[in-house]
Amino acid sequence: MASAPMTEDNSYGAWKFCAWNGMIFMAVFMYFWGWLGHNLPPFAGDAPASEVAGYFRNHSDAVRLGMVTSMTFAVSYAVWGIAIGKVMDYAIGRGHILTDLQVWGAGLTVVPILVSSSFWLLGSYRPEALDDTTLQMIYDAAWLLIDLAYAVTSVQMFGLGFGFLRDKRAEPFFPKWVCWYSIWVGFMFIAECFMPFFKGGAFNRSGILNFWIEFSIFFAYAPIITWYTLKAIGRIRVENGD
């Protein structure tokens, strides 16, 4: 399948760097947002306000560091989506609407990450001046936003999955199982809609379904997609004779 050169200067190194941003985002997100922010796992919905407030007060510096770093690197997710979009240009042709959905979905995913992280940062900024229920409300607001904004990420995953399914190469850039995995993950996120109705059990924000299963498949997503994106960039370079 003949294609126009990837860029005028064939900057494959820049493409690979952008593709690696998916793993950069995940590494930062898991440690700084997750570990330092006490979000891996989060406090259960029925946790006492005093327990949530105590974490903000006793670990305020850790939460501040975690959220500042998370907000700084959140844009890495959008950069990653752009790299995937460029590979999609080669797979299904430039200007395809599925590519646009993937790129826009990745870009919009950054917004709830930034805003929810700012809520956690707010709670850690002067926790000694706020009562327990106020700190709990801030923590709740952050989780309600980051979970219920799942649809923007689902749009990215649907665009990617359905897009690469249209790749007509004898050996597609992305195997069909990866495409269907992307679509499945996007659909699985709908379970987050149950979270506001439960403060305990499988559907609460720290439950087996809404946290352990949902977040596990999300954290597995970036390494898989990054691997095949990097392989595709290498193949495109060979196809172009560079």
The pair of three-digit structure tokens given for residue 101, joined into one six-digit string: 């959905």
b/e 206-232 (16+ beta carbons within 10 angstroms → b): bbebbbeebbeebeebbebbbebbbeb
pLDDT for the residue 1: 44
Position 239 confidence tier, pLDDT thresholds 50, 70, 90? confident
Report if residue 213 sits inside a domain. Answer: yes
Rounded Cα distance between 189 and 186, Å, is 6
pLDDT for the residue 2: 44
Report if residue 149 sits inside a domain. Answer: yes
- Domain range for 175 is 12-234
Are 106 and 80 in contact, with CB atoms under 8 Å apart?
A: yes
Q: Indicate whether 124 pLDDT > 60.
A: yes
Q: Provide CB contacts within 8 A for 23, sequence distance 6+.
A: 222, 223, 226
Report if residue 221 sits inside a domain. Answer: yes
Report if residue 5 sits inside a domain. Answer: no
Domain count of the fold of the chain:
1
Report if residue 151 sits inside a domain. Answer: yes
Q: How high is the mean pLDDT of the chain?
A: 93
The residue whose two tokens read 């890495």 is 76
Q: Indicate whether 104 pLDDT > 60.
A: yes
Report if residue 4 sits inside a domain. Answer: no
Report if residue 205 sits inside a domain. Answer: yes
Report if residue 98 sits inside a domain. Answer: yes
